[in-house]
């Protein structure tokens, strides 16, 4: 599966140049292998907010088939 291995790879994947209209995908980290992948690649189960208002996504992992919960990045 194609994904980002680190936050820095994800962060630099989209140029920040105003002349280029690029949308960066929201990503989640797989706890089974620590890969960072687009949330569109996982099966949604639930979403909630932590005490600071950050989104926590519960999903079925496409790699191991188990349920994970991770922060949405993006």
Residue in 60, 64, 58, 11 with CA at minimum distance from that of residue 36 = 11
Task: In whole angstroms, give the CA distance from residue 66 to residue 52.
Answer: 26
pLDDT tens digit at each of 74 positions of the chain: 456 666 666 566 655 555 555 677 899 999 999 999 999 999 999 999 999 999 999 999 999 999 999 999 98
| Confidence (pLDDT) at 6 | 64
Q: Is the pTM of this model over 0.85?
A: no
């Amino acid at each position: 599966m194609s994904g980002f291995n680190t936050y820095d790879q994800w962060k630099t994947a989209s140029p920040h140049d105003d002349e280029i209209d690029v949308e960066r995908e929201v990503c989640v980290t797989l706890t089974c292998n620590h890969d960072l992948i687009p949330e569109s690649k996982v099966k949604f189960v639930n979403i909630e907010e932590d005490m600071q208002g950050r989104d926590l996504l519960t999903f079925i992992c496409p790699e191991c088939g188990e349920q994970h919960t991770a922060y949405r990045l993006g």
